[in-house]
Structure 1
Amino acid sequence: MAKRGWDVTIVAPKGGAPQQSSLSNALDKDESSSKHTFFEVKRSRKPGLGWLTFGSDLKKKLPDVVNDGDFDIALVEWQAVAGSHKALTQFNIPWLIVDRSPPVFRSLAGRLQWFEYRRAYKLASKNGVVGSVPKSQALAEWNRQHKRIVEPVIILEAGVDVSRFKPSNFTGKPTIIHHGQLDKERKIMRLVDIGSLIAARGIDFKMRIAGTGNCLTELQKTATQHEWLEVLGPLPSDQIPQFLSSGHIALFPLPDGEIWRLASPLKVREWAAAGLPMILSNITPHKSIGERSWVKLVEHNAPLEEWANQVEELLNSDLVSIGRKARIDAENEFDWQQTTESLHLKLTELAGL
């Protein structure tokens, strides 16, 4: 947005998760960083307490931030609505609620997050919100069915800074890559099961998995039992492109659950930017990118043998040619420059610019 001429002020937690701790570094490196300002807000890392501490600190700090600035419009993540709507209303700043994802987990902490999610939409509808920014059309329709949607709706699909990614050169031992949340809810251990089937066929390969989640410890223990398996922890955002470029194909057997159907396929777009052919479960977010020569879709409940068959077939294909097509599509369709176009136009209209 800064490259489109907007002066951007970000009020968010700093530190903790790799993507948060790298935020200020990313701003420092951005060529338009003179148009970025960052204000830190505290957020507890204890499960279930993050949104409480975040909202409380935001409520304290945002009035000063707003009073000292000259803002035309605000984008407010649903987690931040409770702590920000009063200040935005007081200073007559139009704002939109941003919904990148409903809560995923159904634990006690997850139920607290669901309470805040529903509350955020209620507060938004009663406090002058001028629109909503969901991450996918499926999420917009889902919220519309639950009588939560705020019109107008501006879809903001997950985007990628394609220039940060270096395409794979497909050298060395064939390597299967996966990067993302490593949670049991995503049935992430299926990656290991598929890898075991491939290894049993005598195929010489590596599987590299990176990320964080409630399956990370189990994955790391499992890696000690298999020479072909390497499990890394969470990666800073500036190390993700290098990690992906070490791969030959990407693999994501995500199950078909209600929450996953609402997703925008960020990882798929990152993998495309890295020029990686990929094998994905045949579910709504993966189908949303359309038919692509660099994507193989497998039914989410297909036998693991079918997944292994597809991996073996793809590893024997012309990966260089297939990967080149993935990269071209990423450059033409998935870069933030393309995905933010409709948001930019709508914000310009709403702000009266």
Structure 2
Amino acid sequence: MTKRGWDVTIVAPEGDGAEAIAKAGGITFVGVKRSKKAGFGWLTFGSSLKRTIPSLLNGGGFDVALVEWQAVAGTISSLKNAGTPWLIVDRSPPVFRSLAGRLQWFEYQRAWRLASSKNGANGSVLKSQALADWHRAKQRIVEPTTLMEAGVDVSKFSVANFSGPMTIIHHGQLDEEREIERIVHIGEVLSARGMDFKIKIAGSGNRLTALQKIAYLQDWLEVVGPLPSEKIPEFLASGHLAIFPLPDSKIWRLASPLKVREWAAVGLPMILSDITPHRSVGERTWIRLVTPHAPFDEWADCVEDLLKENLVSLGKQARVDAESEFDWNYTTEELHARLLELKGG
């Protein structure tokens, strides 16, 4: 948005890396408190916003605010008093099924009630058409809606060179809710078939420790844990193909295919579960879809079949598609137009 002429100020929790990223992009950062204790984050975040936002609005001369649902309760009164138009931003409903997850659902539903109230938001920004349709079915959508699917800064990613041992890549949240260990079971089938390969997994989540224990016993599996953002492109570029057997649950049907877009930026062909967000990318030569809970043998068959094709050619097309369709310059066009409307420009 700064490249489009906007002066941007980000208000976000301190100590999670957002400040360094913002400053590197020439963006003003204002840090607020947020407890890392499960179930208490939204309480401390909201209280800190209520203390910080009034003075920020009084001195900032802001034309419009984008407010993620987690921040609505802590900012709505200040925005109303300042007369600042705002849009509620929903990138994802809560994912986890734990007690903390149920508390997040309470806050999520409250945020949408506040946003849809008489003095609420001037619209909503949603990450997928499926999420917009879901809110409409729940009769809590805030019109007009703006779609802003997950984008990627393509220029930060170098193209995979497809050298070395055949390597299957996965990077993302390593959570039970994503059934991430299905990747390991696919690897077990490939290993039993005598294939010479590696699976490299990076990320953080509630199954990281379990995956690392498995990797200790399998020489074809490498689990490196979380990576700093500047190391992610290099990690992805070391692969020959990417894989994501995400389950077909309600929460994932509402998702935006961020990982698909990142992997395309690297030029990686990929094998994905046949679910709504993956289908939303459209038919691509570099994507293979597999029924989400198909037998692991079927996933392994797809890996072997894809490896028989020209990966370099498929990867080049993936990169071209990423440059023309998935870059932030493209995915923020609709949002930019909506913000200009609110500003009156």
Task: State the TM-score bracket (shorter-chain normalisation).
Answer: over 0.9
Q: 1:26 matched to which residue of 2?
A: 21
- Partners of 1:158 and 1:263 in 2: CA distance: 9
**Aligned pair partner of 2:67 in 67, 72, 76:** 76
Residues 1:191 and 2:183 are matched in the alignment: yes
Divergent runs of 4+, >4 A: none
Q: Which letter does structure 2 place at the counterpart of 1:63?
A: P
Unaligned runs of 5+ in 2: none
Cα offset for 1:49?
1.1
Q: 1:254 matched to which residue of 2?
A: 246
- Partners of 1:83 and 1:297 in 2: CA distance: 42
Q: 1:295 matched to which residue of 2?
A: 287
Q: 2:127 matched to which residue of 1?
A: 135
Q: 1:13 matched to which residue of 2?
A: 13
- Partners of 1:344 and 1:230 in 2: CA distance: 41
- Partners of 1:319 and 1:88 in 2: CA distance: 51
Pairing 1:334-349 to 2, within 5 Å after superposition: 334-349=326-341
Residues 1:171 and 2:166 are matched in the alignment: no
| Aligned partners of 1:94 and 1:128 also within 8 Å | no
SS at structure 1 position matched to 2:172? strand
Cα offset for 1:107?
1.2
SS at structure 2 position matched to 1:149? coil
SS at structure 1 position matched to 2:131? helix
- Partners of 2:246 and 2:116 in 1: CA distance: 33
Residues 1:3 and 2:3 are matched in the alignment: yes
Pairing 1:141-220 to 2, within 5 Å after superposition: 141-220=133-212
Q: 1:123 matched to which residue of 2?
A: 114
Q: Cα deviation per residue 1:29-65 (whole Å; 9 max; x = unaligned)?
A: 33xx1xx210001111111111111111111111111
- Partners of 2:270 and 2:223 in 1: CA distance: 19
| Aligned partners of 1:10 and 1:38 also within 8 Å | yes
- Partners of 1:42 and 1:219 in 2: CA distance: 32
- Partners of 1:310 and 1:120 in 2: CA distance: 42
Q: Cα deviation per residue 1:299-345 (whole Å; 9 max; x = unaligned)?
A: 00211100000111112221111100000000000000000000000
Cα offset for 1:148?
1.2
- Partners of 1:208 and 1:50 in 2: CA distance: 32
Q: How many residues align?
A: 344
Unaligned runs of 5+ in 1: none
Q: Cα deviation per residue 1:140-168 (whole Å; 9 max; x = unaligned)?
A: 00011111100000001000000000010
Q: 1:55 matched to which residue of 2?
A: 46
Cα offset for 1:221?
0.3
- Partners of 1:52 and 1:102 in 2: CA distance: 17
- Partners of 2:179 and 2:254 in 1: CA distance: 17
Q: Cα deviation per residue 1:278-299 (whole Å; 9 max; x = unaligned)?
A: 0000000000000000000000
Cα offset for 1:24?
2.6
- Partners of 1:179 and 1:257 in 2: CA distance: 20
- Partners of 1:339 and 1:350 in 2: CA distance: 19
Residues 1:278 and 2:307 are matched in the alignment: no
- Partners of 2:238 and 2:343 in 1: CA distance: 44
SS at structure 1 position matched to 2:251? helix
Residues 1:45 and 2:60 are matched in the alignment: no
**Aligned pair partner of 1:237 in 226, 229, 241:** 229
Residues 1:99 and 2:90 are matched in the alignment: yes
| Aligned partners of 2:10 and 2:22 also within 8 Å | no
SS at structure 2 position matched to 1:168? coil
| Aligned partners of 2:23 and 2:29 also within 8 Å | no
| Aligned partners of 1:175 and 1:205 also within 8 Å | yes
Cα offset for 1:26?
2.5
When normalised by structure 2's length, the TM-score is 0.98
Q: Which letter does structure 1 place at the counterpart of 2:56?
A: V
Q: Which letter does structure 1 place at the counterpart of 2:39?
A: G
| Aligned partners of 2:86 and 2:122 also within 8 Å | yes
* RMSD between superposed Cα atoms in Å: 0.9
Q: Which letter does structure 2 place at the counterpart of 1:281?
A: S
**Aligned pair partner of 1:267 in 259, 267, 276:** 259
| Aligned partners of 1:180 and 1:267 also within 8 Å | yes
Q: Cα deviation per residue 1:54-97 (whole Å; 9 max; x = unaligned)?
A: 11111111111111101000000000000000111110000000
- Partners of 1:90 and 1:172 in 2: CA distance: 60
